[in-house]
Amino acid sequence: MLNPMTGSIQRRPDLFARDVAPAAQTPTEVQTENGFAIVRLCDLDPAFSMEGPEHYFVVRGPHGDELDIAVDIAPPAVAEVIHRSRGRISLASSYWINCAERHLAEYLWEHEACPPHRRLTINDLTIADIDLAQRWDRNSW
């Protein structure tokens, strides 16, 4: 800061003091090859759960527009995953958010648009879903 009386510069070390608190973690973005970015809403707002078969995402389109998208996994698909995993995957597993995120990314890639009514329901599991469920560990993220 310039002292008007002396014309000298007074240093204010507090302006350049480093914040010693840990930085807030930046949410991970999943990028599709056609320009969509997906962020888990639970990474932005702790009021949204990472558990269960329904998840919310913020999707940014190739032109910068953003929409909140819900992805839910239908009860028969949930039952099949629990059965095929021999009970290793519960509703509290991170498997569900990973599955939802992967299906949303595939939808965006194939349709080059967000799902109608900002909602995607997963009724049918893919071979990749079944394979992942059979290999999923309780501690997987």
The answer to whether residue 89 sits within a structural domain is yes
Summarize the confidence of residues 116-129 as an average pLDDT: 96
Which CATH number is 116's domain given?
3.30.160
The mean per-residue pLDDT over the stretch 34-56 comes to: 93
Band of pLDDT at residue 27, cut at 50, 70 and 90: confident
Q: Is residue 53 included in any domain, yes or no? A: yes
- The three-class DSSP label of residue 60 is strand
Is 34 among the domain residues?
Answer: yes
Mean pLDDT of the chain: 84
Q: 12 in a domain, yes or no?
A: no
Q: What pLDDT is stored for residue 63 in this prediction?
A: 92
Q: Is a pLDDT exceeding 90 seen at residue 19?
A: no
Number of domains composing the chain = 1
Amino acid occupying residue 7 = G
72 in a domain, yes or no? Answer: yes
pLDDT at 1: 36
62 assigned to some structural domain: yes
Q: With respect to residue 15, please indicate whether it lies within any of the assigned structural domains.
A: no
Per-residue pLDDT tens over the stretch 64-119: 999 999 999 999 999 999 998 888 999 999 999 999 999 999 999 999 999 999 99
Please indicate, yes or no, if residue 110 is contained in any of the structural domains.
yes
Containing structural domain, residue 100: 27-135
Q: What's the pTM?
A: 0.79
Q: Residue-wise over 85-107: b if at least 16 C-beta within 10 A, else e?
A: beebbeeebebbbbbbbbbbbeb
